Structure 1
Amino acid sequence: MSVLSKPYMHDEAAAFAHVESILWADGPVCPHCGVVDRAYRLEGVRTKPSKKNPDGKERFGLWKCRECRKQFTVRKGTIFEESHIEMHKWLQAIHLMVSSKKGISAHQLHRVLEITHKSAWFMAHRIREAMRSDGAVDFGSGGGAVEVDETFIGNDRTVKPHGSKKGRGYAHKHKLLTLVDRNTGRAKSMVVDDLKTATLLPILQENIAKEAVVYTDEAGQYKFLSRDFAGHDFVRHGQGEYGRGSVHTNTIEGYFSIFKRGMKGVYQHCAKKHLHRYAAEFEFRYNNRAAHEIDDMNRSVILLRSTSGKRLTYAGPDAAQPEAI
């Protein structure tokens, strides 16, 4: 049976029940007073009549707390809050995004889900926000190996070239620093403003255990890593060297290959202010891939558990405009 043919992908009541079973494993949680399993379901409640819906619309998944007497749904306090898109379409979008190795564009979501492009774009960014991992990691703990490298993507319009042309350097490009723990097979990416040692070293110290062995290329910003970690070695890409026993960055190069194919082939353009969420999308799929015995359905469940406590709004004079992707 196809995942997309499951009842919760098409039926709104089933969709709410599915999300509730994941986010409220111990019973409904009131987002207003925090009481657990002290609410009752409200059946048959409808919205006010309108021109579009003369009889109103049924309000699915509506609960009322016995303690504070306030109403709520499982949307409250999640990426779904204040969204007018049906819950079953959210579940379809989540499945499409977690199962597409190189991502799926907002245009494609707009066509598949039959919603506006603006809604699809905003929906995709809310899902990416749920994919984003918070806090530092501890890669290389126990003396493991960690690969570190950077890549460049897009065009940073905040950087002005010295001449009339940008040239072939990377100063005008977005910079993404990535770490990969060989033992766990997990990655972490961060958008950085520059590649100076003063910028990168604090990030590496925060996310890599002191007992780790770090592998990089010969770039100057990594020259003194042996002072902060148990070991550091590098490959000389400039001399055509790409591996010397365990000394290589091939794992991270494979990660960048998937990331760049997705960014260039699917998304095509990305503003710097959104890049951290696109990076989080690829990081999430990589860290929850089939090699870790996580299939598409489990990946969707993992994401749903991360939707709570994460909101993404665009309002005010700096409101973001949907990109044509």
Structure 2
Amino acid sequence: MNLNSIANLYSDPDAARLFFEKQCWPDGVVCPFCGLVGEAYRLKAKPDSKSPVRAGVWKCKGCRKQFTVTKGTIFEDSHIPLNTWLMAIHLLCASKKGMSAHQLHRMLGVTYKSAWFMVHRLRYAVTQEPMAAMLSGVVEMDETYIGGKRRASKRKTQATKIGAREKDYLGPVADKKAVFSMLQRNGDVRSHHVQRVTAANLRPIISLNVEAGARIMTDSGTVLHGAIHPRKHDQVNHRSEEYGRYERGICISTNTVEGFFSLLKRGITGIYHHVGSQHLHRYLSEFDFRYNTRKITDGERSVMMLRKAPGKRLMYRQLVPARSGA
């Protein structure tokens, strides 16, 4: 599947709906109400009927309820045609560093608000479940900080503050957001937005995502050491310009997870430019998904994202809470 095939084969919503049904129901039509598989039939209006039947409606023989392929998915109640959704999925999956909502808004002909809501629903669809498949073997861990440079006016005000002590000055990451990532060598990565990088915050995340017998590799920071104990732990000392060494045929380094951070930061800085802290965890899900599916084609990645849509629902009011007094 590529842009050319999507434009030629799924140029209308009906053709896209058939494709969605094939991918979301590979083992037969699944009723979203009772879970019955393969016991539903497509509704069609009789030739002499004055009551039209909406395209794509199915009826379950068990619970007798009607539904479509979008019921109980991130596409439910969306007025955007499914062929437009399919194009958005492919563009997001085929762009290594992501695609902004403004770019989708211009390319797909939808409003910016719709494009923004679309990409957030797609990010929610690919959210990884903890404990589903824990990381094992050699696992690299590190933290990074997301955020732009501090404004010059703010630095100047701080520097000229009368009576300011050294400890009153903001640190280099004081107004940035912390991201903690765990990456299995030749495997998956899992990233989390944490308020503070402390052993107390990181210990439950590591316990839910990493097997007890995994071999952990970090830099020389002391925070991770307290969160990892009692797992086997190796460190590299970046302060002494040590970035990798071999012990019994195993490379001790954090270069792989730092390579993932380079993709993440270039995507945030060059594509999205600004990310709200309340939405950062969904952006991390997007980058994790693309990295974890790096060994397959763009078309296969798009199909995988589509198959993750059932069973998940994200409302606009969950993303943008109503303002009080409005």
**TM-score normalised by L of structure 1:** 0.84
Q: Is the 8 A contact 1:314 1:320 kept in 2?
A: no
Percent of paired sites with the same residue: 46
Match of 1:272 among 272, 277, 295: 277
Alignment partner of 1:108 is 2:103: yes
SS in 1 for 2:190: strand
2:284 corresponds to which letter in structure 1?
A
RMSD: 2.6
2:37 corresponds to which letter in structure 1?
V
Alignment partner of 1:287 is 2:292: yes
SS in 2 for 1:307: coil
Give matches, 1:7-156, under 5 Å: 7-43=8-44, 59-136=54-131, 137-140=133-136, 144-154=137-147
Q: Is the 8 A contact 1:151 1:256 kept in 2?
A: yes
Alignment partner of 1:176 is 2:204: no
2:76 corresponds to which letter in structure 1?
E
Q: How many residues align?
A: 297
Structure 2 gap segments, 5+ residues each: 47-51, 149-153, 159-168
Cα deviation digits, residues 291-312 of structure 1 (max 9, x gap)? xxx1111111111111011111
Q: CA deviation at 1:27?
A: 1.9
Alignment partner of 1:252 is 2:257: yes
1:223 corresponds to which letter in structure 2?
H
SS in 2 for 1:139: coil
SS in 2 for 1:16: helix
Q: CA deviation at 1:98?
A: 0.8
Q: CA deviation at 1:266?
A: 0.4
Alignment partner of 1:213 is 2:215: yes
Cα deviation digits, residues 278-301 of structure 1 (max 9, x gap)? 0000000000013xxx11111111
1:5 alignment partner in structure 2? 5
1:216 corresponds to which letter in structure 2?
T
In 1, Cα distance between the equivalents of 2:28 and 2:202? 44
In 1, Cα distance between the equivalents of 2:245 and 2:128? 33
RCO higher in 1 or 2 (8 Å CA, sep ≥ 6)?
Answer: 2
Structure 1 residues 317 and 35: alpha-carbon distance in aligned structure 2, compared to 1, 3 A threshold: closer
Structure 1 gap segments, 5+ residues each: 46-56, 156-160
